[in-house]
Amino acid sequence: MALDLFLCRHGETEWTLSGQHTSFSDISLTERGKKQIALLAPALHKITWNLILSSPSRRAVESCLIAGLAPTLEPLAVEWNYGKYEGLTHVQIEAQNPNWNLFRDGAPGGESVQQVGQRADDLLKMIMQINGSVLLFSHGHFLRVLVSRWLELQAGDARLFTLSVASISHLGFERKQKVIRFWNNTCHLSADLSGGL
């Protein structure tokens, strides 16, 4: 049995709506965010999980619990620390620093691209010890770095991926090659996941 790694980004929050960078600010899901995650539950319960992990952040844990699952908290899975840019929108940041790019420059007073990449590597090293199905509830930017490192790309290549709230992604193997089985599946927001999981 090989590792199958499923990634779930938490549901909508007020700050995902406003576009504010959210790392250590511990905010809850909106009512719509809770409904988004509730729609995931039937699909997630079709799989027998060998391990369920969640970032300790409220929005991730809340998502996991609303889906009817009991997570093990994993500090390595927290969102990118945005430092001085916490709570700011991209427009506000560009007003201060017009050429800023998170995936190149990191966050002043927060984490560099290399630090987040190392965190992703450390988490993947741990997860790779598991045979079977692993589910990880986490955050948009961190999960984008995680998939980059899974594919043995540079951490900054996370800029090439996008990830919606309440989405499911599946990483696995084709023979011995690490692959993306599917990415950013949000069809559950308008229908069921038939064929998606």
Catalytic residues, by residue number, are 10, 79
Angstrom CA distances, 52 to 70, 94, 108, stand at 7, 37, 32
Angstrom CA distances, 49 to 2, 6, 64, 131, 159, stand at 13, 10, 13, 10, 30
Q: Which residues, 6 or more positions from 98, have their beta carbon under 8 angstroms from its beta carbon? A: none
Angstrom CA distances, 172 to 6, 31, 37, 132, stand at 9, 32, 23, 10
Task: Extract the tokens encoding 59.
Answer: 């929005």
Cα atoms found within 13 Å of the Cα of residue 35, Cβ hemisphere only: 5
**In angstroms, rounded to a whole number, what is the distance separating the alpha carbons of residues 88 and 19?**
8
In single-letter form, the type of residue at position 156 comes to G
Task: Extract the tokens encoding 45.
Answer: 């319960």
In angstroms, how far is CA 153 from the centroid of its own chain?
17
In single-letter form, the type of residue at position 72 comes to T
Cα atoms found within 13 Å of the Cα of residue 172, Cβ hemisphere only: 18
